[in-house]
């Protein structure tokens, strides 16, 4: 293909195991001849005054310009005078929805064979607004912010996703019986949007009941949409249903069609630099990035190669009970390609 067909995408290798698993993605993309040119950006070693964080302004500009990117895990340095890296990305790029597909991997046995659900997490407000203070000694307060605008936006995304991905049902997860005002408003917005999608079944499930149902029979769910904190917890629960953090991808959707894909897991300092990390989660995140770019052929090929490698069982990393290194596992995927 000619140079004009090449798509530029931002790549943040990130911290800890990030560079090792990012290298896997680069290698797999080269082997599959994916027409992507990476613009690599590392987290800086000092605070950039323009972002008030260790993320450089240039790296944010790169995502804004390319509208698409892949992000490794980032460990926020401890100390005063800067914002968390992930929070900075969410705020600066207005990444309002976090989409986490979760499906059973054929050939990798867990308690369930039939998990196939999508969690969609509101990503900008709720308990993550960062508004906490001390009222008096011994009493602190945290503000949970729910707005009509952000709730409608994420609900709209969830129903649109369900419709365009052939899904049948959207479940709004809440605790509106206790959080009447906040979760109540979230539900009201979901109901409003649901009316515009009569072909999609809409239901509301209280979060505690949802946890019980997920653990008992995850096949009961299809697409789940929820406020920030519930989404954080439920999506990790769902990762556990299919074999853990080494496997689960996600994609952040931002204003104006930005898509920044990332693995759900963190920088795994305990295994960083040891060639032990499972690159599957970041690889499947890169597959969701390709789907966002409508490069479905490449996405299918890479996804099949990953799933076949895992199913075959010959090369698996330690988190899946195997003995393969990151590089051996990656090479096995490339051989499948």
Residues in contact with ligand NAD by CB under 6 A are 17, 73-76, 86, 245-246, 262, 265-271, 277-278, 281, 319
| Closer of 100 and 175 to ligand NAD (Cβ) | 100
CA 31 to chain centre: 25
| Closer of 17 and 25 to ligand NAD (Cβ) | 17
Question: Which residues 6+ apart lie within 8 Å of 109 measured at CB?
Answer: none
DSSP strand pairing (169-174 vs 95-103): unpaired
Shortest reach from residue 98's CB to ligand NAD, in Å: 10
Residue 182: count other Cβ atoms within 10 Å of its Cβ: 22
Shortest reach from residue 17's CB to ligand NAD, in Å: 6
Shortest reach from residue 268's CB to ligand NAD, in Å: 4
| Closer of 78 and 135 to ligand NAD (Cβ) | 78
CA 273 to chain centre: 23
Report DSSP letters for 173-239, one per residue: EE-TTTSTTHHHHHHHHHHHHHHT-TTSEEEEEEHHHHHHHHHH-GGG-SEEEE-HHHHHHHHHHHH
DSSP strand pairing (249-254 vs 36-40): unpaired
| Tokens standing for residue 201 | 């079944």
Shortest reach from residue 335's CB to ligand NAD, in Å: 21
Are 306 and 333 spatial neighbours (Cβ–Cβ below 8 Å)?
yes
| Closer of 150 and 282 to ligand NAD (Cβ) | 282
CA distance 26 to 17: 15
CA 328 to chain centre: 25
Shortest reach from residue 278's CB to ligand NAD, in Å: 4
Q: Which residue has the closest beta carbon to ligand NAD?
A: 266
| Closer of 17 and 170 to ligand NAD (Cβ) | 17
H helices of the chain, in order, are 18-31, 57-66, 85-92, 148-164, 182-195, 207-216, 228-242, 280-292, 296-312, 326-336
Torsion of CA 151, 157, 163, 166, to 10 degrees: -110
| Closer of 213 and 245 to ligand NAD (Cβ) | 245
CA distance 150 to 226: 11
Shortest reach from residue 183's CB to ligand NAD, in Å: 25
Shortest reach from residue 306's CB to ligand NAD, in Å: 13
| Closer of 179 and 245 to ligand NAD (Cβ) | 245
| Tokens standing for residue 112 | 């369930």
Shortest reach from residue 171's CB to ligand NAD, in Å: 25
| Closer of 39 and 236 to ligand NAD (Cβ) | 236
| Closer of 21 and 155 to ligand NAD (Cβ) | 21
DSSP class of 54: S
Shortest reach from residue 148's CB to ligand NAD, in Å: 28
């Amino acid at each position: 293909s000619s140079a004009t067909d090449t798509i530029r995408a931002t790549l943040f290798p990130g911290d800890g195991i990030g560079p090792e698993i990012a290298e896997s993605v680069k290698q797999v993309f080269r082997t599959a001849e994916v027409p992507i040119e990476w613009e690599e950006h590392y987290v800086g070693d000092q605070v950039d005054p323009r972002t008030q964080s260790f993320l450089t302004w240039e790296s944010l500009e790169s995502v804004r310009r390319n509208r698409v990117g892949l992000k490794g895990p980032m460990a926020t340095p401890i100390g005063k005078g800067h914002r968390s890296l992930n929070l900075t990305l969410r705020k600066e790029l207005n990444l309002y929805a976090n989409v986490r597909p979760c499906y059973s991997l054929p050939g990798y046995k867990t308690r369930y064979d039939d998990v196939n659900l999508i969690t969609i997490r509101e990503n900008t407000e709720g308990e993550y607004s960062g508004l906490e203070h001390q009222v008096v000694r011994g009493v602190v307060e945290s503000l949970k912010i729910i707005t009509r605008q952000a709730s409608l936006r994420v609900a709209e995304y969830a129903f649109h996703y369900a419709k365009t991905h052939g899904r049948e049902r959207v479940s709004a997860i809440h605790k509106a019986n206790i959080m009447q005002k906040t979760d109540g408003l979230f539900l009201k917005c979901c109901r409003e949007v649901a009316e515009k999608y009569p072909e999609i079944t809409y239901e509301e499930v209280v979060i505690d009941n949802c946890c019980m149902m997920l653990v008992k029979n995850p096949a009961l769910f299809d697409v789940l949409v929820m406020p920030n904190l519930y989404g954080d917890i439920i999506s990790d629960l769902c990762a556990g249903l299919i074999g853990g953090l080494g496997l689960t991808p996600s994609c952040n959707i931002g204003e104006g069609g930005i898509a920044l894909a990332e693995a759900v897991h963190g920088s795994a300092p305990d295994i960083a630099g040891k060639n032990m990390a499972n690159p599957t989660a970041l690889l499947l995140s890169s597959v969701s990035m390709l789907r966002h770019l409508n490069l479905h052929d490449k996405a299918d090929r890479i996804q099949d190669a990953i799933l076949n490698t895992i199913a075959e069982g010959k090369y698996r990393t330690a988190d899946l009970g195997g003995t393969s290194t990151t590089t051996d596992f990656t090479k096995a995927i490339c051989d499948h390609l």
